[in-house]
Amino acid sequence: MNAESLNGRLLFAIPKKGRLHDTCLELLAGADIRFRRHHRLDVCLSLNHNLALVFLPASDIPSFVGKGNVDLGIAGHDVILEAEMQNYVEEVLRLNFGKCALQIQVPESSHYKSAADLAGKRVVTSFEVLAGQYFGKIDDQLNLVGENRTKIEYVGGSVEAACSLGLADGIVDLVESGDTMRAAGLHAIETILLTEAVLIKSSAQKHSELEPLIDMITSRIAGVVAASRHVICQYNIPRSKLPSATLVTPGRRAPTISPLEEENWVAVSSMVEKKNIATIMDELMKVGAEDILVFNLDNCRV
């Protein structure tokens, strides 16, 4: 595919592999961005929109969006900071997946209890910039100079093995469940930052004619994300108990309330956060709600 075929199209960068890739494809499907990606090709045209999908290494996406011709991208918040692109890209939308913690991990058998205990020691990471900034502040506070400062060394993979193989005293790496770190005999002593996948665009407007399409795609993705976070909770309740129930399910703006055939009873429908639904149902029962039903959302606009 040559550059001419991309002219005038919105370019949307997606991680080509790794922890965000599969969920990004589900997000595109939910936003009705249809495409057919041919084997081994990293650029493909949308079948129903004036856009092209560009599959890139996740670490490169902020740079292509911030300084290149790519209009939109999906990347981790951590990658943006590591690439030092926070002044060149705008985080348009947090996507509610890919949540991890960038943590300092040390061997469980070690005497290190805080990041300050590692100052001046060897730290291995694939996040040189963030680790360097973090330990640089600690070194400055402790007045460490020259060879006494913390040594930050980069490795591209298997960071968790660095301590057991004698390369490091501690590591800085992304942790999701923590299972890999525990299996390597490591535990966390500090968290540098919490991260998740974000939708980004350039801080500077590149193609004004594509702004309506950018807004539409952003709105669709926001709807898919909102649907993944919420469910519809529906129940019946005596009107006299409605004030207590609406405190439990206030909805995003207000619940939908409809009268029932039975006198002094109403049906209530409300959008609630999925993660809280079990507690919400318990509270509704306590205030007198009956026939409590929960419905998943495929998509929405909020």
Tell me the pLDDT tens digit for each residue of 123-160: 999 999 999 999 999 999 999 999 999 999 999 888 99
What are the tens digits of pLDDT across the range 54-106?
999 999 999 999 999 999 999 999 999 999 999 999 999 999 999 999 999 99
| Residue 129 and residue 10 in one domain | no
174 and 48 within one domain: no
H helices of the chain, in order, are 21-30, 61-67, 77-82, 115-118, 128-141, 179-183, 211-229, 242-248, 277-286
Same domain, 84 and 202: yes
Average pLDDT, the chain: 93
Query: What pLDDT sits at residue 18?
Result: 81
Provide the pLDDT confidence category of residue 168 given band limits of 50, 70 and 90.
very high
Q: Please indicate, yes or no, if residue 225 is contained in any of the structural domains.
A: no
- What's the domain range around 191? 100-195
3: pLDDT strictly greater than 80: no
Q: Is residue 6 predicted with pLDDT exceeding 90?
A: no
220: amino acid identity, one letter: R
- If asked whether residues 23 and 55 sit together in one domain, one would say yes
Q: Is the pLDDT of residue 1 over 80?
A: no
Q: Are 106 and 93 in a shared domain?
A: no
Q: Which of 231, 199, 181, 217 is nearest to 23 (CA)?
A: 199
